[in-house]
Structure 1
Amino acid sequence: MSDRNTFLAFGMAGVLAAGTLAASATMAAEDNFPDGNITFLVAAGAGGGTDNFARTIQPLLEERLDTTVNVINLPTASGAIAHQRTASGKADGRTLDFASSTLVTSLAAGQNPTGLDQLTPVARMQSDVMALVVNPDKYEDLEAFMEHAREQPGDTVIGGTAAASPDKMAFLAFQDATGLDLSFVPYDQEGSTAANVLSGNIDGMFNEISSITGYTESGKMKPILFFAEQPLEGFSEVPTTVGQGWDLTNGNERGVFVSAKTSPELVNRLESALHEIYQSDQYQQYAERVHLDYRDGWMGSDAYQQKLQQDLKQYRTLLKQQ
């Protein structure tokens, strides 16, 4: 064998050996996963829907993976810090980003520097139904609200949380579908939005049903429209967007993300664990208790990735039209 061929043979053997070692290391990491504590980075403040979601998953994942899970809330800049830390951190499957649809709405608005190419969705576990809610002393139903909005163009004011939120996207989609001339006022907190609806300072607000249950059960607020295909159980008299001929069903989704550099094997491992949790009695009881059971929340990694891309395109279009 010539020196050149000998050199090439040794070179090829080195490449193969390196590849074998890398593969072995990856397999070992997967076999030992998680081999340490797991961190949940919650892209929202304490006490909200996304935080409650993460803290419900925490003990269930600890049990299934025989590990300890630490929860850290990072609400700054609509959760952008949580997304950045997840994307730039170790791709070992031990840093999980718990996020709502604000991840993609803030990205559409140019307020989130972490793109969908930097994060891999593990699973969607919640699809919270969006509602248009009013003070019943002001509007009896959707027809009364629509009549006022048509007669007073520009004077009907809707509130929501933040200027690049699922609430704002619901407002823009509703306005686009109905052709109504409405105004949107963003508030820093959900409580401030609700207070202004109750006081009559604004005409209504968009919010997910899980967050307004206390108000609706007390009779202080009334949902007059749901972003859904079919009437919701317990709200048969409340019209739906699809029933009105408007193809609007997006609500506030919540899911789990990891760094895009994470191996498909680890993503599959996490997806499987989360799916088991989703199907468990403990999780389903929680979902029913907080009214997250009106529609199936589960969506696997690949399907959720496609849904996020579709949503991003839609939200960018809506923002350009405002």
Structure 2
Amino acid sequence: MVTKHTIKYAALGLAMLGATTGASASDADNFPSKPIQFLVAAGAGGGTDNFARVVRPMFEEAMGGARITVVNLPAASGALAHQRTATSAADGHTLDFASTTLVTSLAAGQNPVGLDQLTPVARMQSDVMALFVNPERFPDFESFVKYAEENPGKVTVGGTHTASPDHVTFLSLRDASGLDMNFIPYDSTGNATANVLGGNIDATTTSLSPLLSYIEAGQMMPILVFSDERLEDYPDVPTTVENNWDLTDGNDRAIFVHADTPAPILQRLEKAFKEVYDSEDYQSYAERVNLDYREGWMGSDEYRQRLENNYELYSRLLQND
């Protein structure tokens, strides 16, 4: 029987083998020397998948016509994609496209592949998280807080599955605010939203982009955004920072490689993705899907530090849940 621990130890052993057979720094001059794989740690049609497929032709051009295939590996919250990247040759030809779920599932003990086996190339998206309600019930954040204070333990906030970005966003808010609230997991953002609209739960924590059509229809409204500054499209909605809560993490989408990838290859990959990010085509795409509320780019070193900090925070929050 294959257990989680079996997979973990197998992954670790293969990762060591991959490190011994990986590319040397001198191979960077000939990179890429074979087709590149984009392993998507999510199913087809979702945000991470769309991100990888939009980036693909732009990245091919930036890399001088490199051949790229996209493979979806959604199993176990994307852990299979992380394992395959960690056990591949450390030569930069296997790229892991992942969301914040990589670090939240790691903090929850659901993902056996850590930041010692993978390293970020870059972050390119950071979808703003928010607390959403039916505006007919809660016109603003103050009314929500008042209700929560008057009804301790009775407020329910929904979101996608346990240890998801939605869940850790809720835990972060509960921890910072001290409000006595409970989280209800659903299998999709759509189901969580439907239960808010149906009055079965009081609110949902999720990113802005999936709920834009509901916002435009007046059915849902963000009453608190996890951001440093108020968003131009929602000037009346307060931020976490305004409440003296240092909570600004979004649902990120980033690219990872084997941790032992030679520095010259990692740097070349980072440079190519920055070229893609700065292109008119990519910025038009980001604007079209409302991923331009804040700066998405974060280079390898800066993003690694952010991930390590988030891992510590999420581990504490999930352990205390």
TM-score using structure 1 length: 0.90
Is 1:245–2:244 an aligned residue pair? yes
Deviation at 1:148, TM superposition (A): 1.2
CA deviations over 1:110-160 (Å, ceiling 9, x no partner): 000001100011001111110101112221111111111111111111011
Identity across matched positions, percent: 58
C-alpha separation between the residues in 2 aligned to 1:52 and 1:41?
Answer: 12
| C-alpha contact 1:198 1:220 (8 A) present in aligned 2 | yes
- How far 1:184 sits from its partner (Å)? 0.3
Contact 2:42 2:49 in 1 (8 A): yes
Matched, 1:145 2:144: yes
In the alignment, the residues of structure 1 paired with residue 36 and residue 210 of structure 2 have an alpha-carbon distance, to the nearest angstrom, of: 28
Q: Secondary structure at the match of 1:249?
A: coil
- Alignment match, 1:5: none
For residue 31 of structure 1, what is the aligned residue in structure 2? Answer: 29
1:207 aligns with 2:206: yes
- Are 2:272 and 1:264 aligned? no
* Residue 49 of structure 2, aligned match among 46, 51, 54: 51
User: Residue 25 of structure 2 contacts residue 263 of structure 2 at CA under 8 Å; is this kept in 1?
Assistant: no
For the pair 1:188 / 2:187, whether they are aligned, the reply is: yes
Match of 1:95 in 2: 94
CA deviation after TM superposition for structure 1 residue 88, in Å: 0.4
Q: State whether residues 49 and 211 of structure 1, in contact with CA within 8 Å, keep that contact through their aligned partners in structure 2.
A: no
Give 1:84-233 correspondences, 5 Å limit: 84-233=83-232
Q: CA deviation at 1:34?
A: 1.2
Q: CA–CA distance in 2 between the matches of 1:256 and 1:27?
A: 20
Q: What root-mean-square deviation, in Å, do the aligned CA atoms of Structure 1 and Structure 2 show? A: 1.4
Larger Rg: 1
Uncovered stretches (5+) of structure 2, i.e. residues with no partner: 1-19
For residue 228 of structure 1, what is the amino acid of its counterpart?
S
Distance 2:26 2:227 in 1: 45
Aligned to 2:12: none
Structure-to-structure mapping, 1:52-91, within 5 angstroms: 52-65=50-63, 66-91=65-90
Contact 2:163 2:318 in 1 (8 A): no
Shift, 1:291, TM fit: 1.5
Tell me the equivalent position of 1:293.
Answer: 292
Contact 1:138 1:200 in 2 (8 A): no
Following the alignment from structure 1 to structure 2, what is the Cα–Cα distance between the partners of residues 218 and 69?
39
Give the total of aligned pairs. 299
Please state how far the C-alpha of 1:28 moved relative to its aligned partner. Answer: 5.7
Distance 1:178 1:235, change over 3 A: same
